[in-house]
Amino acid sequence: MAGPQSDAQIRLLLVEDMPQVAQYIRNLLDAQARIKLLEVVTDGATVVEQVREHQPDVLIVDALLQGKINGLQVAADLREQGMDLPIICLTVPQKPIAIGDGMGETRVLAMPFSGFDFMHLLEQMHNEHKALAPEAVSRVYAMFGAKGGVGTTTLAYNIGAALVAQGLTVALIDGSLQFGDLRGLLRVPEDTPSIVNLPTNRVQRADLQEVMYHDKSGVEVLFAPPRIELAEMVTVRDLERLISLMRKVYNVVIIDTATTVDDTLLAYLDASDEMIQVVTYEWPSLQRARAMTDTLNAINYPTARVRYLANRADSKGGMARDDVVKLLGRQPDFEVVSDGILVLDANNRGEPFITLGPKQHVSSDVVSIAKALARSMADEHRAAADNAARRAREAQQSMVEQ
């Protein structure tokens, strides 16, 4: 797996009314899988609303915006609204600008700038902000099973419950929009709110809280539409905005995906920090997992962002481990043993098996996975804090030398 900071996606909102500048920045970001350009906003008067809607990690605003509100006023308005996200103000050498008191994490970047300078400042500000804001450390996991019946939904729910026990806030999205499984697993009525009850745009935290199902495990669940035809009401853009917001609300977001590889799944993967692919030691499951790996390679999805979870790892008659490694290209990252009686009983009750049978081997396996994921988040935060402290020392030393 890559280092703690290397694979966390940075979501960027750009405020720019010059098409040439906007296109230049788009070109810089084309080869940057880690940076997600959420939107290009051309009217400074709408920025506060757009920030509330998109919940970006970093805002870039041109200080030379035309219109009634210039770039510095945009930054000032955001601070007055209590929005503390990092802001980069663009200008030109002929028109230098000074950042006044009360502007928080705001820095100036003069045009023209190189791709290196741009990316360095963007990542530096993002990492420093994360170091100063522990609640901003969040992870999104897309759980995928290339073959149905491998236990993806049950594992997603139980891993979520185990992460809650680690002291994290967890949301679980029923990402199979046509045939969502979580509603049946948790035995909730059809009229329980779902993703289609959210506004089609400008989704805010209050809207989200009205539709999230508060499960007794502590996991908050966003259900898929109750009927198949309603899935068409949810667009890829809706999902991108929704997950962007949920990152700001929860420490962990788990997406229980469908087995179909389509634009919806690709949107989930694009919005996720890691993909956890569930397999069993059976040929049909592993053959499909291998096909999915080939597909991910074809679309240049980073292998460092894929983890394999082998479910029912102790089942008799499964394929030999050496053969599994050859098919997957590596050892599975996690293994969960089988316990059909406990899992079936828990699913029939609509509760996590980790709470129904906490001392069982299958439960300890899932808790170990949750602890590993929580450690990864803690490592990420610690690395960000160390980097911020190092840069602060370097800046102070530079000032002394001057």
How confident is the model at residue 76, as a pLDDT? Answer: 84
What pLDDT sits at residue 133?
57
Determine the pLDDT at residue 80: 81
pTM for the whole structure: 0.71
Q: Tell me the one-letter amino acid at 10.
A: I
pLDDT at 319: 81
Going from the C-alpha of 248 to that of each of 26, 48, 139, 367, the distances in angstroms are: 24, 16, 10, 25
161-205 pLDDT tens trace: 999 999 899 999 999 999 889 999 999 988 999 999 998 767 777
Q: What is the dihedral of CA 326, 327, 331, 332, to 10 degrees?
A: -170
Q: What pLDDT, on the 0 to 100 scale, is given for residue 108?
A: 87
List the structure tokens of 349: 């009750």
pLDDT of res. 323: 83
E strands, 257-333, are 274-279, 306-311
Burial 339-348 (b: 16+ CB within 10 A, else e): beebbeebbe
Q: What is the pLDDT of residues 252-303, one digit of tens each?
A: 999 999 998 999 999 999 999 999 999 999 999 999 999 999 999 898 888 8
**Residue for token pair 């049950």:** 154
Q: What is the pLDDT of residue 1?
A: 31
The dihedral over CA atoms of 319, 321, 327, 331, expressed in degrees to the nearest 10, equals: 140
- Closest by CA to 173, choosing from 237, 253, 244, 227, is 253
Q: What is the end-to-end Cα distance of the chain in Å, rounded?
A: 41
Q: What is the pLDDT of residue 5?
A: 37
Q: Which domains does the chain have, with CATH numbers?
A: 10-134 (3.40.50.2300), 138-371 (3.40.50.300)
Predicted local confidence at residue 253, as pLDDT = 96
Cα-trace Rg, the chain: 23
- Give the H/E segment covering residue 284: helix 283-298
- Quick one: how far is CA 172 from the chain centroid? 12
pLDDT at 303: 87
Place of tokens 């053959």: 287
pLDDT of residue 67: 67
How confident is the model at residue 392, as a pLDDT? 54
Binned average pLDDT, 10 residues per bin, the chain of 402 residues = 47 89 88 82 85 85 79 82 84 80 78 86 82 66 93 97 93 94 92 90 81 95 94 90 87 94 92 94 91 90 91 84 85 93 95 95 96 85 64 52 48
